[in-house]
Amino acid sequence: MRLEHWLYTIPLRLRSLFRRNRVEQELAEELQYHLERKTEEFLPQGMSQDDARHAAMRAMDGLELRKEQCRDTRGVNSLETLLQDLRFGLRMLRKSPGFTSVAVLTLALGIGANTAIFSITDASLRKNGDWYRLGAVVGDEPHRTERIFHFSVAEFVNISALRDIFEQAGALQWSNSALTSGTYPERVGCAHITSSVLSSPLHLGRNFLPGEDRPGGPPVAILSYEFWQGHFNGDSQILGKRVKLDETDYTIVGVTRPHESAFGSGVMVPLQPNLSDPDRSRRNLWVLVTLRPGVTWIQVEARLSVLARQMARDNRIAHPEYADLQLHFWSIYEAMTSGTRPALLIALAAAALLLIVACANVAGLLIARATTRWREVAIRLALGARRSRIVRQMLTEALLLAAAGALSGILFAYWSLPSIIHLIPASWLAVDPTLIRVNPRVLLFAVTTALLTGFFFGVAPAWLSSRAEPLAALNAGGQRMAGSRQSRISRDSLVACEIALALIMLVSSAWMLETYRNLQSIDLGFEPAHVLSLTISLPTSRYSSAVKIGSFFENALAHVEALPGVQDAALVSGLPMFDRSVDLTTLDFSIEGRPPENGSEPDNANFRVISPGYFDLIGAHLLRGRFFNPDDRDGQPPVAIINETMARQFWPGANLIGQRIHLTSAQTSDRENTVIPPVQSNPVVTIVGVVSDVKQIRVIDAPVRPEFYLPELQNAALQPELTMMVRSPMEPEKLLPAIRNAIRSLDPELPVYGVQPMTQVVADSYGPKRIVTVLLLFFAAAAVLLSILGIYSVIAYSVIQRSHEIGVRLALGAHPRDIQRLIIKQGLRLSLIGLGIGVVGALFVARFLTHSVSGVTSVGLLYKVSPWNPLPMLAVGCTIFVATLAACYIPARRAMRVDPMVALRHE
């Protein structure tokens, strides 16, 4: 029965909606038929035709009431009413094209800015279930200022045994391999992984089998989707084919899915550790783990703490460093997003503030517009309209404005998104930039934002309109009702809030500008202009000894320095300001004649291997002693140069030239798969010089760590991968073909990669602060403009509403200048209230800008900027005050020219 009812009513309702005129005609004809039949029933009673018709009408309670009852039974009245409201709202907006255009453009700016920033934030920071559970095990030791990211095979076995908290555990190493194809050999990032690391489905083929990640396993490889498309043109028959990396042929067994993590590499090959290796001092593995579903980080930390104590108990004699070892879970999600998360969240907050300003501006315009429609509303109420219907009509108009603003905002976001993404260096993004787009999730956000904003700025005007009293409104006149206390307070409050938010955003922009200026004045320790960097990695299969490695790099330098246009060339094991802190290579050391206190562990510092001309090329300053020279090679006393921070920390005020340090064990860098052995050939080095600090990592305002430099001619075996830096008076990129040919003349199979100007390396380090600065400036400028428009509209409407009062004042002898001061005073009062609120809000926002960023290197967004410095706030306040004065001037001039007779006659 229920089904039959719906089968009957649904077609009836659809017919009532889409064939309304036909249905209404049929309804009128049917009621007319019943009226005639009813009339015929009264005629035999002796009534005339007219009396019988009137009696029939009374018996049927009137035709119009019957029509309404029939329409109610269709169940489509609400929808019909909505359609009526939409049609009426569109007509009203079309009648005011100026107001509609300003409101839509204002909302488009606010919604578009939020949509664009949300697109980046959603793609970069959205928590994926796998990402949230994927992480690395890291260690902390009291004597180290940097975390331990590498573990030995034996330690990996201990960690992977924790099956109660880890669903999977695997080991990972990175390398740079040479792929010989085309004109020049290419560098390919290669990830060496155990089979348990890669668990997601592949686009083609299969994952590594358990036996393939054991010693002696077959050489197989999995390609990343992007590498497969770029180098093999998406060959669907790629499985089973071979690719030659360095000196080894690998059989391709799989291809990852698009944009899926291949651990920053183009090729993945099996890592084949000897799981029975007992050597715990050879730490060169990342340990990646996946948490079991439902396991919390607190449980993981507790279980790892138990493991650390167990490792200390079982190995305390051979490895005393285990005594204070602490193990932690390091979320990959946190690691990949920590660099840009604060910047994106600040930008999203600024966009939200801009949207609030836009909403307040449109709400003020709607309130001012609503006050001119009080007579219309009063007439509708007098004719029987319900107040709820008035509110619904006003909200409908607001939602129409929001819908138009959302559509325009989406187009604005689509247009501006590439420019915003261009502000962020790709190395700072957690996702491929091509994945950041206006997708369905972003569209849903834009639509939701439009609905919320439409309700936000529409509810106050709707409520004020519904408060009209018909008799009072019709008797008093529209102008007087328009100037009611409620509407005036509402408009003034919105304008004050706009000014407060504009001040907050403009002061934040001033702080970020000062931060950016301070960062640009930082002494980097080197001169990046006209310097090109490129990396060369020597395969250990052909360069197995220090003699071969040293000879190649010495010849390479000589060939490149001989090229026309090359001013200088040098080698370094790690570019300044290029890596993250986790990529730095560090060494433990102890100072001769200064035994560790209370059995504490050796000290630790960064180290780099360099050629003799490195400091001259980068322009570092020699503070004491001497630089390296060509005589610092094998067979000569081992030497080192330290930076100023290391000298100040370990030899404060002492004559350190000639001091000797004992080098012990190294922590490998993540930039290559080079296993740096404990320093045995040169266990003791003599300090021969002190140089100025050079910025070490890409976080430009991060503090400099202790660092020492070893001559490449004495330590060639430590770094078979080096970066060559070339300085030229002309654009160094033009020398790249000649440099490639020079390297190729020495070894045609060696790839040259990582080519980039040092100016670009420095520019990328400004990434997060640059995006915050630029976006805050844009949003602040837009907010100030909207605030000025808001206060202008309020004052302009005030002049119109007070025309009778102004006319009376002028008629009684007031000078036009007095009227001008009266109007300007009103605007400045609103400005001062808004500025006062904004100062308090700005100091509150300063807490977030100065808060440190979580991650390996923790720094705030502000650098050498004190929020308590009154000058930026005073300058911004004066700017807004002057802009407010300018916004009030035009309405004030208009008020001066009011003709008293015209104003009084009109009233």
How high is the pLDDT of residue 77?
Answer: 58
How high is the pLDDT of residue 676?
Answer: 41
**pLDDT of 101 strictly over 60:** yes
Query: Between 124 and 384, where is the model more confident?
Result: 124
Q: Is 189:176 a contact under the CB 8 Å cutoff?
A: yes
- The stretch 654-665 carries a mean pLDDT of 82
State pLDDT tens for residues 753-763.
778 888 888 87
Helix or strand (DSSP H, E) at 704: none
**Separation CA 474–CA 480 (nearest Å):** 11
Mean pLDDT of the chain: 77
Q: Is 512:773 a contact under the CB 8 Å cutoff?
A: yes
Q: Is 162:155 a contact under the CB 8 Å cutoff?
A: no
**Separation CA 395–CA 459 (nearest Å):** 6
Paired tokens of 524:
């980097």
How high is the pLDDT of residue 344?
Answer: 77
How high is the pLDDT of residue 225?
Answer: 86
Other Cβ atoms within 10 Å of 442 Cβ, number = 22
State pLDDT tens for residues 688-744.
999 998 888 777 777 888 989 988 888 766 677 888 899 988 887 888 888 888 888
**Separation CA 431–CA 200 (nearest Å):** 17
**Separation CA 251–CA 840 (nearest Å):** 65
Helix or strand (DSSP H, E) at 345: helix 341-371
Q: Is 94:100 a contact under the CB 8 Å cutoff?
A: yes
Q: What are phi and psi of 160, to 5 degrees?
A: -70, -15
Question: What string of DSSP letters covers 396-445?
Answer: HHHHHHHHHHHHHHHHHHHHHHHHHHHTS-GGG-SS-GGG-S--HHHHHH
Supply angle C-alpha 635, 637, 639, rounded to 5: 125
How high is the pLDDT of residue 480?
Answer: 45
Query: Between 904 and 28, where is the model more confident?
Result: 28
Exposed / middle / buried, residue 521 (Cβ in 10 Å: 0-12, 13-18, 19+)? exposed
**pLDDT of 399 strictly over 70:** yes
**Separation CA 782–CA 723 (nearest Å):** 45
The closest alpha carbon to 148, from 163, 159, 158, 136, belongs to 136
How high is the pLDDT of residue 859?
Answer: 46
Question: What string of DSSP letters covers 479-537?
Answer: HHHHT-HHHHHHHHHHHHHHHHHHHHHHHHHHHHHHHHHHHHTS--SS--TTEEEEEEE
- Name residue, tokens 């800015």: 113
State pLDDT tens for residues 39-97.
777 777 778 787 777 777 777 766 666 766 666 565 555 666 667 777 777 887 788 78
**pLDDT of 481 strictly over 50:** no
Q: What sign for the dihedral angle of Cα 550, 553, 558, 559? A: positive
State pLDDT tens for residues 782-830.
888 887 777 777 777 767 666 666 777 777 777 777 777 777 787 788 8
How high is the pLDDT of residue 372?
Answer: 65
Residue 286 identity:
W
- The stretch 405-419 carries a mean pLDDT of 87
Other Cβ atoms within 10 Å of 346 Cβ, number = 22
Output the CA–CA distances (angstroms, integers) from residue 873 to 583, 780, 867, 876, in the order listed.
Answer: 40, 14, 9, 5
**Separation CA 405–CA 398 (nearest Å):** 10
Strands 707-711, 639-643: pairing is: antiparallel
State pLDDT tens for residues 456-467.
777 767 776 666
Q: Residue 647: helix, strand or coil by DSSP?
A: helix
Paired tokens of 225:
């989707």
How high is the pLDDT of residue 180?
Answer: 63
Paired tokens of 836:
């006062």
Strands (DSSP E) contained in 153-219 are 166-179, 186-193, 204-205
**Number of helical (H) and strand (E) elements in the chain, helices listed first:** 28, 21
Instruction: Give me the half-sphere count of Cα atoms (radius 13 Å) on the Cβ side of residue 609.
Output: 24
State pLDDT tens for residues 577-609.
876 665 677 777 888 877 666 555 667 788 888
**pLDDT of 477 strictly over 70:** no
The secondary structure of residue 541, as a DSSP letter, is T
How high is the pLDDT of residue 581?
Answer: 60
State pLDDT tens for residues 240-297.
888 888 778 888 998 988 877 667 788 888 888 888 888 887 888 888 888 888 888 8
Supply angle C-alpha 899, 904, 905, rounded to 5: 100
Q: Residue 88: helix, strand or coil by DSSP?
A: helix
State pLDDT tens for residues 112-150.
888 888 888 887 777 655 666 788 888 877 666 567 788
How high is the pLDDT of residue 854?
Answer: 40
**pLDDT of 512 strictly over 50:** yes
How high is the pLDDT of residue 761?
Answer: 81
Mean pLDDT is lowest, of 117-126, 328-337, 537-546, 675-684, for 675-684
**Separation CA 187–CA 231 (nearest Å):** 12
Strands 134-140, 286-291: pairing is: antiparallel
Q: What are phi and psi of 610, to 5 degrees?
A: -135, 160
**Separation CA 461–CA 99 (nearest Å):** 15
How high is the pLDDT of residue 819?
Answer: 77
Supply angle C-alpha 249, 208, 168, rounded to 5: 140
Q: How far apart are the first and last CA of the chain?
A: 66
**pLDDT of 235 strictly over 80:** yes
**pLDDT of 369 strictly over 80:** no
State pLDDT tens for residues 177-228.
777 655 556 777 788 888 877 777 888 888 888 888 888 888 898 898 888 8
The closest alpha carbon to 795, from 820, 826, 822, belongs to 826
The Cα diameter of the chain in Å comes to 139
Q: Is 599:576 a contact under the CB 8 Å cutoff?
A: no
